[in-house]
Amino acid sequence: MKKGLKFTKNQLENLYWNKKLSLSQIGERFYCQGTNILYWLKKFKIKRRLPYWKNKVDIPKKVLEDLYLNKRMSSLKIAEKFGNIKARGIRKKLKRFGIPTRTLSEALTKKFKKPFSNNLAEKAYFLGLRAGDFYAKRNWKSIRVQTTTTHLAQIDLAKNAFKNYGETGVYLMKNKSNESERSEDEWFVYVDLHPSFQFLLKKPNKIPDWILKDKRYFFQFLAAYMDCEGSWRVQKSHQKHVRFMFNVRTGDLKILRQIKKRLTALNCHSYLYLDKKKGTRASYGVFNQDMFNLTVNRKAEIISLTNKLLPLSKHGEKIRKMNFILENRNKKWGEIQKKWIKLRSEIKKELLKNQIET
């Protein structure tokens, strides 16, 4: 298998010929577009199935109406679903069945974009995401929020966060490091939102006062920031005890100082220190700024913090770790070691580099 490729020729042939999946369906398995799969079919010299005019596809009117009118699928998506028919063939069937086609305007706005509700709790969470890993920009008449990741859980985070306001798109992309010729695959994740989300265009360099003054809004912001930048750790302490730790590592020193100050006011002790200096080399490149670490490790305070953040988090990996902490808070290391190793192993399998069908 070539470096960076997520499937072998045999796996692709099996999905395409034996399981009769469409290019789009195969692409969904590997988080890329159907055109990417078409490229690899040609690259592997895998014979294509018969074209639509040589293999008639019978689509009942009720099925076509449901897909086109109710599920709002495009003629291209419907064609990809059935495999041996092209988009123009679907459009001919629509005309023959007397099914009204969408206007150009409707087709261009097929992804729904609901205006922001002006709910301050939601706004605090969205600003936490924006302060973390998510970038925002204008995209025609929309506000596009995007990120890149190698974690499946980060894709679900985007979907869960914005599911009431827009549809999340995902595709596989090559990311070439500036520091070396080594290429790494990443998922590009994006959602196009209503213009009322323009408050996300500017990345916060500090937490707004209205968030800091209200405990509810502060924990919404912290939950989102934690979903992006935070981590939960469980490790052995002394001979048989367990230490739970919460870390946030980032270059945003001002935000970390604000979080530390607010946690202190809430009787939660945290430690803030320089973790990596600018220019420090890592396995994936060089740090282009100083990195700071905010840590909480007192057991009672970890439990309290977990109870507050768990209902607000939308990140699957971190939700599982927080649940693990709460379920095992009164146990010894020997009782939970194997379960913790198993959980970490399960999470590791969800990394992009391990998403290969066997």
Position 53 in a domain:
no
Q: Residues 171, 153: contact at Cβ < 8 Å?
A: no
Give me the half-sphere count of Cα atoms (radius 13 Å) on the Cβ side of residue 316: 17
Position 289 in a domain:
no
**180-239 pLDDT per residue, tens:** 445 568 888 999 999 999 999 999 999 999 999 999 999 999 999 999 999 999 999 988
Position 130 in a domain:
yes
Whether 356 shows a pLDDT value over 60: the answer reads no
Q: Please count the structural domains in the chain.
A: 1
**The two three-digit tokens of residue 160, written as one number:** 């869960």
Handedness of CA 146, 151, 154, 159 (dihedral sign): positive
- CATH code of 143's domain: 3.10.28.10
pTM for the predicted model, two decimal places:
0.70
Q: Residues 189, 94: contact at Cβ < 8 Å?
A: no
**Cα 270 to Cα 63: distance, rounded to the nearest angstrom:** 58
Within 8 A by CB and 6+ apart from 59, the residues are 78, 82, 85, 90, 93
7-12 long-range Cβ contacts below 8 angstroms, 24+ apart: 7/40, 7/356, 7/357, 9/44, 9/46, 11/356, 11/357, 12/37, 12/40, 12/41, 12/44, 12/46
Beta bridge partners of 62: none
**Cα 181 to Cα 183: distance, rounded to the nearest angstrom:** 6
State which residues form the domain around 128: 120-200
Position 142 in a domain:
yes
**96-148 pLDDT per residue, tens:** 888 877 655 455 455 678 899 999 999 999 999 999 999 999 988 899 999 99
Position 129 in a domain:
yes
Number of Cβ atoms within 10 Å of the Cβ of 278 = 11
